[in-house]
Amino acid sequence: MQDEIIRLRNVKKAFQTDEVETHALIDIHMEIKRGEYVSISGPSGCGKSTLLAILGLLDSPSGGEFTLRGQPVSSLKAGERARIRNREIGFTFQAFNLIGDLTV
């Protein structure tokens, strides 16, 4: 069983429009080992949500290497990413989109 669950090396994420390129993440390096608890904090606009979307397999980095349990994430197909999110990744969404006319 591998100790290292998540590994990011030189991970980058850039968003492009017709007029501007915005770099949300630049050269992120991170290792998370089995049993570790990790907190990601920082000021508004620093890339926390972008990083969480990548870690949650909801988005892909623009560059660098992301491995999950030793397997490169870039090689995973959409169905494999969905299965991992369903069975292995706990994720609380920032934009939860509750329906306004229903109660909890």
pLDDT confidence bin for 1, thresholds 50/70/90 = very low
Model confidence pLDDT, tens digit, residues 2-19 = 588 999 999 999 999 999
**Which CATH architecture best describes the domain 4-87?**
3-Layer(aba) Sandwich (3.40)
Task: Measure the CA–CA gap between 51 and 64, rounded to whole angstroms.
Answer: 13
Model confidence pLDDT, tens digit, residues 44-103 = 889 998 999 999 999 999 999 999 999 999 989 999 999 998 888 876 665 556 666 767
- What contacts 32, CB < 8 A, 6 or more positions away? 4, 5, 6, 7, 38
Which pLDDT belongs to residue 99?
65
- The domain ranges of the chain are 4-87
